[in-house]
Structure 1
């Protein structure tokens, strides 16, 4: 009962924060709406996402997004997958280097996860940019696993993890091509990803085209390794199509 009350408390607090952020975004002079669809080949899962984001002239930025699970094997579902708030602040270090400390609050039916991070980008050439980010994901609820435990016993922990990202972006006229490498590691080795290990990685390639100043379609393809299911060795490829509308 105590765990349930704590989960409800975190959910209500996160909902209040999301409402406050949405109100602030609606009062801003301009913002982006990012709508995206996704398919994962190994696990055969369909997902979608809607995101509202705004960056103010003082360097502060914030976003609110809602993830939706649309089914496995076919698009036959429309249920909440997660909700997320992100906020960051741009700190110029020089004409070409910027630091962006920030944080993410994600919540779902289990509870909430706090994800503080530090990101830096470097415009090392007029048409090239490199970014690096380190993030720590701390769950405010315990997860349970039976993996590696004696029969009838379970292991419980908050299942926190580290994530390291590297981004390399090339700008060509109206097109931006971005490569992203991400590496994740569980704090507790008892908890594993779907590949059966406590580490996993991702290679992602994204292309964004400025169709009009206020319309930016994009496509992504990512290789996620053998992460489809603990019971098989399928490779997981993630395909995404999206559109950013600017107002």
Structure 2
């Protein structure tokens, strides 16, 4: 298995921990897509500051199953990897700033720099948060994803692709140890010439997460996502896709 690249990146992220003056969060997560038969793992380091700034760095790797094709059905750009190899899927850096409008409302402008073997994506966003109660929080985010590289559309023509994305967040704290989170997402290509593997220019995701806090340092979580009919395997798309994830978070 070719796992050196993601491990090197993860180790590099960890070496940056001493540079931060406040608590740092390190998150490790694994997942599986049942229709596309893809395994994934992610390593993420994040940091928040009292002045309102927040930033993160992460790397994600997936196995190269799907008969040498990616989850979206496109050929992998690095054809040297054999089936079942573990390869770096993407890396990204994210940052945002929280403006507290009052005790209940806050505004978060931010952005993501995302890059992979295909090229770089720029993802600016704006998020509005509302604290419904002491235990229930909500948020609504609009994000625009822009590729700096060209991809083939449904007519097999090369163009730059962009996506409009809207996310709804709900978080509920059951007690001091248990919490629940929901994220609903709808995303749409700006051009009708691009389609997801559900055969449409738009798609949805619904993610449900339950988290258990062991202590102030360690918590773990389990997540189930329904990803519409975007599954792709063995040349066949439009498959109902479910994703299962488990992870552990360390507050250092």
Q: Distance in 2 between matches of 1:157 and 1:26?
A: 43
**Structure 1 residues 206-247: Cα deviation after superposition (integer angstroms, max 9, x where no partner):** 111111111010110011111102724421001000000110
Are the structure 2 counterparts of residues 64 and 27 from structure 1 closer, same or farther at C-alpha, using a change threshold of 3 Å? same
Give the Cα–Cα distance (whole angstroms) in 1 for the partners of residues 65 and 205 of structure 2: 21
Q: Distance in 1 between matches of 2:65 and 2:218?
A: 30
In the alignment, the residues of structure 1 paired with residue 99 and residue 14 of structure 2 have an alpha-carbon distance, to the nearest angstrom, of: 24
Instruction: Rate the CA distance shift 1:116–1:232 in 2: closer, same or farther, 3 A.
Output: closer
Is the Cα–Cα contact under 8 Å of residues 155 and 190 in structure 1 kept in the other structure?
Answer: no
C-alpha separation in 1, matches of 2:146 and 2:244: 27
| 1:46 aligns with one of 36, 39, 46 | 39
Tell me by how many angstroms 1:64 deviates: 0.2
Instruction: Please say if residues 54 and 62 of structure 1, whose CA atoms lie closer than 8 Å, have aligned partners that are also in contact.
Output: yes
**8 Å Cα contact 2:45-2:57 kept in structure 1:** yes
Q: Is the 8 A contact 1:47 1:71 kept in 2?
A: no
Residue 126 of structure 1: SS of its match in structure 2? Answer: coil
> Are 1:219 and 2:222 an aligned pair?
yes
- The answer as to 2:26 corresponding to 1:33 is yes
**Cα distance between partner residues in 1 of 2:111 and 2:179:** 25
1:125 paired to 2:133: yes
- Aligned match of 1:207: 210
Which residue of the partner structure matches residue 159 of structure 1?
A: 161
TM-score, normalising length from structure 2? 0.83
In the alignment, is the contact (CA less than 8 A) between 1:48 and 1:70 conserved in 2?
no
2:186 corresponds in structure 1 to: 183
Report the counterpart of residue 116 of structure 2 in structure 1.
108
Measure the CA separation in 2 of the matches of 1:25 and 1:163: 32
- Does 2:247 match 1:242? yes
Q: 1:7 — aligned with what? A: none
CA RMSD of aligned residues (A): 2.0
- Is 2:143 the counterpart of 1:135? yes
5+ long unaligned stretches in structure 2: 1-11, 67-82
1:71-82 matches, within 5 Å, as 71-72=64-65, 76-82=84-90
Partners of 2:248 and 2:14 lie apart in 1 by 20
TM value normalised by structure 1: 0.85
Q: Report SS of the residue matched to 2:231.
A: coil
Counterparts in 2 of 1:219 and 1:144: CA distance versus 1, 3 Å: same
